[in-house]
Amino acid sequence: MADKTYINGIFLKRKQFDNGGDLINASIKVDDFIAELQKHRNEKGYCNVVIQNRKEADKNGNNMYITLDTFTPKNSTEKQSNSLPTYTTAEVIPEQIDDDSLPF
């Protein structure tokens, strides 16, 4: 497993309510966060991240963190071989249906 690259400049706190709802408060240090995103952006201009829960909150109550998403698919041909087969309309719907064989 590769080392995690943490995204700096943002602090996250999840709050859970008694009714089952929750929210996430984010404190963003704008200049630092933008610099991190620009440093890790891909060739399309995106920075893919993973937001995860901490095992324990830190001293400031932050109970989540963000890491760089380093997942890359192996190749596109493997993805295509695992996809569902496609059918034409003629293969799925018979050309003629005998109305006498229908139950209604």
Per-residue pLDDT tens digits for 40-78 = 999 999 999 999 999 999 999 999 999 999 888 887 655
The pLDDT value given to residue 3 = 87
10 C-beta neighbours (distance < 10 Å), count: 20
Radius of gyration of the chain (CA): 25
Share of the chain above pLDDT 70, in %: 72
User: Average pLDDT for residues 13-38, to the nearest whole number?
Assistant: 95
Token pair 């984010």 is at which residue? 26
- Would you state the structure tokens that stand for residue 59, as one six-digit string? 């001293």
Alpha-carbon separation of residue 63 from 14, 44, 58, 96 (angstroms): 6, 31, 7, 62
Mean pLDDT of the chain: 84
**pTM for the whole structure:** 0.63
- Would you state the structure tokens that stand for residue 73, as one six-digit string? 């698919």
**Which pairs count as long-range contacts for 20-24, CB under 8 Å and 24+ apart, including other chains?**
24/64
Q: Is pLDDT larger for residue 74 or for residue 13?
A: 13
